[in-house]
Amino acid sequence: MFNYMAMNEQQVREGVQKYGPAVGARKIIDQEYQHALETLNTGIYITYYCAEQKSECSRIGSTSKCFCGHLFSQHKQQLGKKFNTGCENCECKRFQFVPSRPEECGMYWLPRRKDFNILTWRPPCKCNHGCEDHLPNYPLRCRKCQCSDFDSYFACIACDRRWELHETLFEDESERKALGKKVGQDYLPLSNTPDIQEHVFQDQKYQQMPQKLQQGLVGNDKPFPKQQIQTNKQQQQTTAYTRPNQQQQQKAIQQQQQKPIQQQQQTNKIVQKKK
């Protein structure tokens, strides 16, 4: 089983039917399935995207890892005029997806080693230190050596490009439809191969996942609630910035000048009452 290497779609189909997904692949596909359901619930599509290859390499959701080491659910989730995905637990200013398993970096052999620990593994830099050993904001300098930036020492399993050539992309359904990208049920993993999709997700737990998601039992902090997105869009339309004219500027200056006088008058009144 461990020597089985599928080279085309038919061999993948035969391998899945005979052996099922590998342990690491199963964990990755389960996470992708959960994140796809979160997307269908919120309407915001978040992907690990390589523009050079026009490849959506991973679906991002509540349990995705950021470069800073914290989960997506531990980041602020504010869309609209003031876009904000800063981390709530550290100085990280924006969410930057990184792989959470070596299989996503093509390092499929690592989990087979006896001394390998998935809990301590981090995507490596060429300086031999992990992403969490680097500063979370640019420049991504290393805390343990003289490395001045994170120079990824791995490639994406989906597009074979380095981490630096990817971005964390946020889109709504209308944007994706305009670009001809997958939406709705087509966004679920393996939608291009329905027979493999049916075989991989035939377990009853996958049928129950949508119900659990609605009940809040899957994904600890649902990213971007629909109500919040609509509110932010309304704010963006109604609070557009306009440069104040000369009369408005003079009025603002007068108000600022009157504030100390008003404060002094209030203080005098309080003193007189005490007397």
pLDDT (tens, 9 = 90+) of the chain, 275 residues, equals: 344 555 566 766 666 666 667 778 888 888 999 999 999 888 999 999 999 999 999 999 999 999 999 999 999 988 665 678 999 999 999 999 999 999 999 898 999 898 999 999 999 999 999 999 999 999 999 999 999 999 999 999 999 999 999 999 999 999 999 999 999 989 988 888 887 777 777 765 665 555 545 444 444 444 444 434 443 333 333 223 233 344 544 554 455 556 556 666 666 666 565 55
Are 51 and 136 contained in the same domain?
yes
Q: Please tell me the number of Cα atoms within 13 Å of 86 on its side-chain side.
A: 9
Six-digit token string for 201: 């997700």
Q: Using CB atoms within 10 Å of the CB of residue 257, give its burial: 0 to 12 exposed, 13 to 18 middle, 19+ buried.
A: exposed
Are 104 and 158 contained in the same domain?
yes
Are 195 and 169 contained in the same domain?
yes
The predicted pLDDT at position 54 comes to 94
Are 268 and 145 contained in the same domain?
no
Six-digit token string for 218: 């899957």
Q: How many domains does the chain have?
A: 2
CB 125 within 8 A of CB 153: yes
Residue 212 structural domain:
18-237
The predicted pLDDT at position 155 comes to 95
Are 69 and 119 contained in the same domain?
yes
pTM over 0.85: no
Are 232 and 261 contained in the same domain?
no
Distances (CA, A) of 129 to 29, 140, 198, 268: 27, 12, 40, 64
The predicted pLDDT at position 197 comes to 79
Are 67 and 193 contained in the same domain?
yes
Longest dimension (CA), the chain: 94
Residues facing residue 134 across a β-bridge: 142
The predicted pLDDT at position 208 comes to 54
Are 222 and 271 contained in the same domain?
no
Per the domain annotation, does 9 fall within a domain?
A: no
Per the domain annotation, does 105 fall within a domain?
A: yes
Are 140 and 274 contained in the same domain?
no
CA dist 136 and 267 (Å) reads: 48
Are 44 and 113 contained in the same domain?
yes
Are 223 and 196 contained in the same domain?
yes
CA dist 196 and 141 (Å) reads: 43
Six-digit token string for 21: 């997904």
CA dist 49 and 169 (Å) reads: 6
